């Protein structure tokens, strides 16, 4: 078999396809990378490892400058990655650039996690890169990971990372007000940390309980779970009075804002340090806690 001519033909066909068709370009590109990568792998086994260098010299001249050694190695790497994962390139919904971000990962379950959130949340390549860099999978509770692997039923709270990463723009955080400022300066990043389909309603959201006004640090709404989400920020260890405070706020939202078609409000306490015993003895399972880490 003339591996070089076969590779050259595939690359030329792909160049023509990309110029003519607008739909399914990425899928076609992934398949082409896979097929050329397979040919390069087989050619290397037949003619030696330097085949990439030899082929790239000719392809740069005959097809295009982008088909250099680096590109050909990536194609071969993509093929080997698909083979290791036992994936079919025909069924992929990711782009080549997304798949390349996954090359550094070895755990198949971790790879599957990032693939699923990429598809579900329509992540850009940079958004995926940021999640991998911030070790989001490792921050998911171990119990939740095992439930997902076993295809067991999971809840929204199971997949809120711990700790929550909050971007720090050189502030010296000494108060809840400053912590809230950091969150609001990067509110979209913060909501992506919490999960999918969040909408921002307000900060220091004013409510009146009896004759006194109270202020909810952050009030969000989750479209997927059709419920309000009360978020309280604490720069101390989680305390029992924090549970009572957020529970009052949640009940207020349920009684005054929640519509009959909406689910009950969820409460998230983000604190400097967790106290698992307090959460363990909290009777309201809608309340969860996560510690924060400044990045």
77, pLDDT greater than 70: yes
Residue 6 is predicted with a pLDDT of 86
Choose the most confident range, by mean pLDDT, from 41-50, 83-92, 251-260: 251-260
Query: Alpha carbon of 83 to those of 41, 87, 177, 205: distances in Å?
Result: 12, 6, 51, 52
The residue with greater pLDDT, 44 or 218, is 218
Residue 21 is predicted with a pLDDT of 53
43, pLDDT greater than 60: yes
Domain 162-294: state its class. Answer: alpha beta
122, pLDDT greater than 80: yes
**Which sequence spans correspond to the domains of the chain?**
3-139, 162-294
Residue 186 is predicted with a pLDDT of 92
- With beta carbons less than 8 A apart as the criterion, state whether 193 and 204 touch: no
Residue 98 is predicted with a pLDDT of 94
24, pLDDT greater than 70: no
Residue 13 is predicted with a pLDDT of 80
Secondary structure string (H, E, C) spanning the chain: CCHHHHHHHHHHHHHHHHHHCCCCHHHHHHHHHHHHHHHHHHHHHHHCCCHHHHHHHHHHHHCCCCCCHHHHHHHHHHHHHHHHHCCCHHHCCCCHHHHHHCCCCCCHHHHHHHHHHHHHHCCCHHHHHHHHHCCHHHHCCHHHHHHHHCCCCCCHHHHCCCCEEECCCCCCCCCHHHHHHHHHHCHHHHHHHHCCCEEEEEEEEEEEECCEEEEEEEEEEECCCCEEEEEEECCCECCHHHHHHHHHHHHHHHHHCCCCCCCCCEEEEEECECCHHHHHCCCCCCEEEEEEEEC
% pLDDT > 70, the chain: 96
Write out pLDDT tens, residues 203-262: 999 999 999 999 999 999 999 889 999 999 999 999 999 999 999 999 999 999 999 999
End-to-end CA distance of the chain: 53
- Indicate the range of 21-35, 39-53, 197-211, 215-229 predicted with least confidence: 21-35
What is the edge-to-edge ordering of all strands in the sheet holding 227-233?
Answer: 164-166, 287-294, 266-271, 227-233, 212-222, 198-209
27, pLDDT greater than 50: yes
37, pLDDT greater than 80: yes
- CA–CA separation, 270 and 235 (whole Å): 8
- Tell me which residue of 94, 88, 87 sits closest to 119, measured CA to CA: 94
The residue with greater pLDDT, 49 or 119, is 119
Prior bond of 163 cis (ω within 30°):
yes
Write out pLDDT tens, residues 136-179: 999 998 888 877 777 777 777 778 899 999 988 777 777 899 99
- With beta carbons less than 8 A apart as the criterion, state whether 118 and 128 touch: yes
């Amino acid at each position: 078999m003339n591996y070089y001519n076969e590779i050259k033909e595939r690359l030329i066909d792909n160049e023509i396809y990309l110029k003519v068709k607008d739909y399914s370009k990425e899928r076609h590109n992934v398949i082409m990378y896979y097929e050329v990568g397979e040919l390069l792998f087989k050619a290397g086994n037949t003619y030696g490892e330097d085949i990439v260098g030899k082929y790239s010299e000719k392809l740069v001249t005959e097809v295009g400058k982008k088909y250099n050694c680096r590109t050909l190695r990536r194609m071969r790497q993509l093929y080997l990655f698909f083979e290791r994962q036992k994936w079919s390139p025909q069924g992929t919904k990711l782009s080549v650039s997304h798949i390349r971000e996954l090359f550094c990962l070895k755990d198949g379950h971790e790879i599957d996690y990032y693939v699923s959130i990429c598809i579900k949340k329509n992540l850009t390549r940079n958004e995926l890169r940021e999640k991998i860099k911030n070790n989001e999978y490792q921050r998911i509770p171990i119990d939740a990971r095992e439930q997902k692997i076993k295809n067991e039923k999971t809840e929204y709270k199971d997949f809120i990372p711990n700790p929550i990463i909050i971007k720090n723009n050189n502030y010296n955080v000494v108060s809840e007000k400053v912590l809230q400022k950091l969150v609001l300066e990067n509110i979209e990043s913060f909501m992506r940390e919490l999960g999918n389909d969040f909408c921002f309603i307000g900060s220091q959201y004013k409510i009146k309980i009896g004759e006194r006004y109270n202020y909810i640090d952050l009030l969000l709404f989750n479209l997927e779970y059709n419920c309000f989400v009360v978020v309280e920020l604490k720069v101390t260890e989680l305390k029992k009075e924090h549970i009572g405070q957020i529970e009052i706020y949640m009940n207020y939202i349920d009684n005054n804002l929640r519509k009959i078609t909406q689910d009950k409000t969820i409460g998230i306490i983000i604190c400097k340090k967790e106290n698992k015993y307090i959460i363990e003895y909290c009777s309201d399972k809608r309340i969860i806690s996560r510690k924060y880490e400044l990045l």
